[in-house]
Structure 1
Amino acid sequence: MSDENKGRAVLGMVAGDAVQAVAPSSLIWPAAGPAPNGEAAEGAREVTAEQVVNALEGVYGVNRGKRRNHTKGFGALGSFVGAPEAAAYSRSALFSGHEIEVVARFSVAGGDPEASDSERSARGLGLEFRLPGGGLHHITMLHTPMFFATIPKTFLDKFLALKPAPATGKPDPEKIKAFLDAHPDNTSQFHFLETNNPPANYANCAFYGIHTFKFVNKDGKVTMVRWRFAPHDGERPLSDTDLKSAPRDFLEQAFLARIQQGPVRWDMLVTIGQPGDPEDDPTVLWPSDRKEVKAGTLTLFSAMPDEKAESYEISFDPLMMADGIEPTNDPVLLFRSPAYSVSYARRSRDL
């Protein structure tokens, strides 16, 4: 792969912009989540939320009124019905069996509002579950089974490496190479994106929660879990031919066309962890033989352009959790809220 193509591939492997409420920009650990200890704490505190967002703006510029990351996207509305199998592991109202209102947003990773829908970058899905009594639960996912960073410093180093050089207007290939050499945690997602064509339609795309979470049942028993959303329409990537000829913008229209034919559905599948499975490293997959439980079904029945969607002013903070679901000590997961808070605050000033 050429250095330029490596740069384009790395450019897409970024995390989402999100927070529901603005928190102090100097905060590393959100009030709702526990502060990590030991190596996790040291790895996360090497950088600040402001540094990461500044680096994002250094790569993509400031697109006023838009998310600093996962800038290109559109919204959708639907519902979720939990399955009784999941209620054995979590007391969350998500798995009550009652229909729960959902606001969703699909997106292309990166801060370029004109990004190509066929680029080899991560695709995102954010979900806000509106629970009885006014409670909220957020889920943020990517279409890659793994993430590209074990600690927040990888975020910062990546965006610094991707900052365009003044002389060329493009990232410096030597800086990109240095980033790849210094961050082997980036390797798995990089390989996935290079060897798997992007989705032809979001309706044909699986989404992964990336991080490990704790399910807590009515008896207080804790189970480590990961989850994915599997599409009823089946997974279908772009063919190599379509990848070369696809227009810059097709994902939104393709999904709108599909949803006009009827609701689009995904099953939430929860993987049950076993002792020894990594809990704080989203770059490492769990063994494929782990028990999997159907936790519910997501149904989307309408979609609309970003600016007209309910999701437009929502951030999808994965630490906004309903009772019965808790975070692990993953430093990347715990860093998301303060980083998204800074991003949200900056774009909110432009709205």
Structure 2
Amino acid sequence: MKTQNKDLPGWLLAAGLGLAAPFGMAVQDEVTPAQVVAALEDTFGVTPGERRNHIKGTCASGEFVGLPAVAAWSRSALFSGQPVPVVARFSLPGGNPKVPDTARSVRGMALEFRLPGGALQHMTMLDTPVFGAAQPKTFLDQILALKPDPATGKPDPAKLAAFRASHPDSRAQARFLAEHNPPPSFANSSYFGIHTFKFVDATGKATLVRWRFVPEDGEKSLSDEELETLPADFLEERLIQRTAQGPVRWDMLVSIGQPGDPENDPTVAWPENREQVKAGTLVLTAAMPQKGAACEKVNFDPLVMAEGIAPTDDPILRFRSPAYAVSFAKRQAGQ
């Protein structure tokens, strides 16, 4: 395994999403899958056969029961009222499998819903309400700025400062992370879909939506003292112990968009007064190390969508799918 960079600032680890070939991007913003994956490898190192990003993770399993009332907006089988099996994965960003669980970075929750007839619906979420880049070029520039200085083994502070100054779209998520300590358990975070999506009803009418999953166990944060004293690895063990005590639940809350709401910019939050509806409940009954478990081989591509849910033209959302494919192909090949 190549040397890992263990000294990356948490706010810069926040982006946590792989990017790839552009969909209709302007020429000056063109970024290729090879560029971004190579940048991730150069910054974080490579563990052959493993993810290039969000490498450190934990698997879980359970089901989702949607509310039929949501059929007023979406014809997705998610909202039939019947239990849908779910494969889940919780993770920390970056390509360092030894990143400490106290890192001031995002936490991720990825879900694969296994719908009737073999259809799949993916949701890949973060525990911040906004993302750290409005355009793929920002994400690439961030990774490049994080490349360790050979003399110190750490990122160059001048390059990081230059990145912050020249990329205002990175600041909202950085500010959120600076103001909120990470959680003591994966079960104590809300997880946001980050992007705007479309719910499509039985007539074909589309409604702009954003969703988040809110924990029944409540949102909690580590104290500053705990950040200094906890061991590097505790999140996986705590989730396994928590599911052994009983089911862990999150309510899926959906915000209904209005004209003028940001549709293609994941760095901007919607107004808090948007109509919100409860769309269902996620129930996880077991958690386990990812090695050999169901989530390990899943490529949680956010554009894997079943009928009734559709993407917007958000450039970051559209960018993610091909990059995931590049990373997935490498790890399938044992690289």
TM-score, normalising length: structure 2: 0.95
Q: Tell me, in whole angstroms, the C-alpha distance in 1 between the residues paired with 2:254 and 2:138.
A: 28
Query: 1:82–1:246: structure 2 CA closer, same or farther, 3 Å change rule?
Result: same
Alignment equivalent of 1:176, drawn from 154, 160, 163: 160
Alignment equivalent of 1:165, drawn from 149, 152, 159: 149
**Runs ≥4 residues deviating over 2 A:** 14-18
- Report the residue type matching 2:143 in the other structure: F
Q: Provide Cα deviations, 1:215-256, integer angstroms capped at 9, x if missing partner.
A: 010011110000000001111111222122111000001111
Alignment equivalent of 2:322, drawn from 327, 338, 341: 338
Correspondence 1:296 to 2:290: no
Report the count of equivalent residues: 330
Query: 1:108–1:338: structure 2 CA closer, same or farther, 3 Å change rule?
Result: same
- Report the residue type matching 2:22 in the other structure: I
Alignment equivalent of 1:135, drawn from 119, 126, 134: 119
Query: 1:239–1:167: structure 2 CA closer, same or farther, 3 Å change rule?
Result: same
TM-score, normalising length: structure 1: 0.91
Q: Tell me, in whole angstroms, the C-alpha distance in 2 between the residues paired with 1:276 and 1:17.
A: 28
* 1:170, distance to aligned residue in structure 2 (A): 1.0
Q: Provide Cα deviations, 1:102-142, integer angstroms capped at 9, x if missing partner.
A: 00000001111000101100100000000100011100000
* 1:6, distance to aligned residue in structure 2 (A): 10
Aligned to 1:115: 99
Q: Is the 8 A contact 1:7 1:173 kept in 2?
A: no
DSSP 3-state at the match of 1:307: coil
Correspondence 1:216 to 2:200: yes
* 1:43, distance to aligned residue in structure 2 (A): 7.2
Q: Give identity over the alignment, percent.
A: 57
Alignment equivalent of 1:201, drawn from 174, 185, 201: 185
Correspondence 1:53 to 2:37: yes
Q: Tell me, in whole angstroms, the C-alpha distance in 2 between the residues paired with 1:332 and 1:137.
A: 19
Pairwise CA RMSD of aligned residues? 1.7
- Report the residue type matching 2:45 in the other structure: G
Aligned to 1:64: 48
Aligned to 1:278: 262
Higher relative contact order (CA 8 A, sep 6+): 1
* 1:349, distance to aligned residue in structure 2 (A): 1.0
Q: Provide Cα deviations, 1:276-311, integer angstroms capped at 9, x if missing partner.
A: 000000000000000001011000001110112101
Q: Is the 8 A contact 2:12 2:174 kept in 1?
A: no
DSSP 3-state at the match of 1:260: helix
Unaligned runs of 5+ in 2: 1-5
Query: 1:44–1:248: structure 2 CA closer, same or farther, 3 Å change rule?
Result: farther
Query: 1:176–1:349: structure 2 CA closer, same or farther, 3 Å change rule?
Result: same
Unaligned runs of 5+ in 1: 19-24, 30-35
Q: Is the 8 A contact 1:105 1:311 kept in 2?
A: yes
Aligned to 1:156: 140
Q: Is the 8 A contact 1:118 1:198 kept in 2?
A: yes
Q: Tell me, in whole angstroms, the C-alpha distance in 2 between the residues paired with 1:312 and 1:339.
A: 18
Aligned to 1:192: 176
Aligned to 2:3: none
Q: Tell me, in whole angstroms, the C-alpha distance in 2 between the residues paired with 1:250 and 1:44.
A: 43
Q: Is the 8 A contact 2:124 2:300 kept in 1?
A: yes
Q: Is the 8 A contact 1:17 1:67 kept in 2?
A: no
